[in-house]
Amino acid sequence: MKTTSLYQVHQSLGAKIVEFAGYQMPIQYAGILEEHRCVRTAVGMFDVSHMGEFFVAGPDALRLVQTVTTNNAAKLTPGKVQYSAMCYPEGGIVDDLLVYRFADRFMLVVNASNMRKDFEWITAHAAGMNVDVRDRSDEYTLLAVQGPRSAETLQTLTHVPLNELPYYAFTEGKLAGTDMIISRTGYTGELGFELYFTAPAQKACDIWNAILGAGRPFGIQPIGLGARDTLRLEMGYCLYGNDIDKTTNPLEAGLGWITKFDKGPFIGSETLTRVRQEGLRRRLVGLLLDDERAFPRHGYEVTRNGAPIGQVTSGTVSPILHRGIGMGYVAAENATPGTQVGITIRNTPVPAKVVGFPFIPK
């Protein structure tokens, strides 16, 4: 079982540690509800160093990225980031990821649970290309500082003008005296930044503590992976292994906007073109429960007029709405917002309705 360079910090803060994607990770500190609300109203900091970082360089770097991902990386200029996905030839999703464009290379940021699989997938398709692919995941510490007070918190530690950094853009500069990739990204729906850096464990801990100190006037808290999940669910962001996997394609998952057929062939494009022409049989939708005391879980059945029409993929109680919310696939004819459905909880159909994403305004 791996640990990140901040493991001792998490222990000292009394975090509840659980196994996640092969790592010992903090699931919560003060509690998921408190941490969730802190990110929505102030600022929170996550250790997400378990994520994978692959670097792709060489004359055929763009060609490889274009081949294995669904989005159009050719439109990226240095300093820009792109949300994308990788697909199997059959159209299922290998992983969702971020693509960073540097002047001389790309960085692909992948999910921790898929690191080994993703690296093998990418390098297999690099065969015959003039390209260098390196897995530097173990070298990098990754912090996500998220919330409406995140820029104010970090600005005290850097000369980089953070308010001038557009959404899905990044720069390289010093923060807390350390060279970093400073990225205006995150998976919470709030203003936020992700900080990539290489440093010994003690230095990484010093940086963590420096950010906590800088954010204290703004109400910063350390945030665990539990709140990270509820925050992304309120936004309708997909989680690999729950909402997307090799059995789902990006079109039915609502990721058609990152699937660029006009860029030329990519792995899975032939199948996805056929899916688009034939029409979708199911769609990923938001589900809002009427009963404040109930919430859906992964695998619960979705029904309409007593007949099964789909299945829940993610669910929780929204700390902001105080209602059960979920995501799930339903037959396409039942995917219109406002459609009344039932979610079977303990053998009882609980009334719910189909809604669009996000569940709350960004």
Question: pLDDT, tens digit, for every residue of 1-10?
Answer: 899 999 999 9
* pLDDT of amino acid 361: 87
Distance CA 302, CA 354 (A): 11
End-to-end CA distance of the chain: 36
Query: What is the per-residue pLDDT for 362?
Result: 77
pLDDT on residue 218: 98
β-pairing verdict for 282-289 and 178-183: unpaired
| pLDDT mean over 105-132 | 98
Instruction: List pLDDT tens digits, range 155-182.
Output: 999 999 999 999 999 999 999 999 999 9
Interval 23-37 mean pLDDT: 98
Q: Give yes or no for residue 78 having a pLDDT over 90.
A: yes
CA–centroid distance for 226 within its chain: 13
| Average pLDDT of the segment spanning 188-212 | 98
Containing 301, the helix (H) or strand (E) segment is strand 301-304
The mean per-residue pLDDT over the stretch 81-110 comes to: 98
Whole-angstrom distance, CA of residue 300 vs CA of residue 311 = 6
pLDDT at position 217: 98
Per-residue pLDDT of 292-339, as tens digits, reads 789 999 999 999 999 999 999 999 999 999 999 999 999 999 999 999
**Statement: residue 67 has pLDDT above 80:** yes
Q: Compute the mean pLDDT over every residue in the chain, rounded to the nearest whole number.
A: 97
CA gap 84, 268 in Å, rounded: 13
Q: What is the DSSP string of 18-86?
A: EEETTEEEEEESS-HHHHHHHHHHS-EEEE-TTSEEEEEESTTHHHHHHHHBSS-GGG--TTEEEEEEE
pLDDT in tens, 44-59: 999 999 999 999 999 9
Could you tell me what percent of the chain has a pLDDT over 90?
98
362 versus 249: the higher-pLDDT residue is 249
Q: Which domains does the chain have, with CATH numbers?
A: 7-47+138-233 (3.30.1360.120), 281-362 (2.40.30.110)
Average pLDDT over residues 229-242: 98
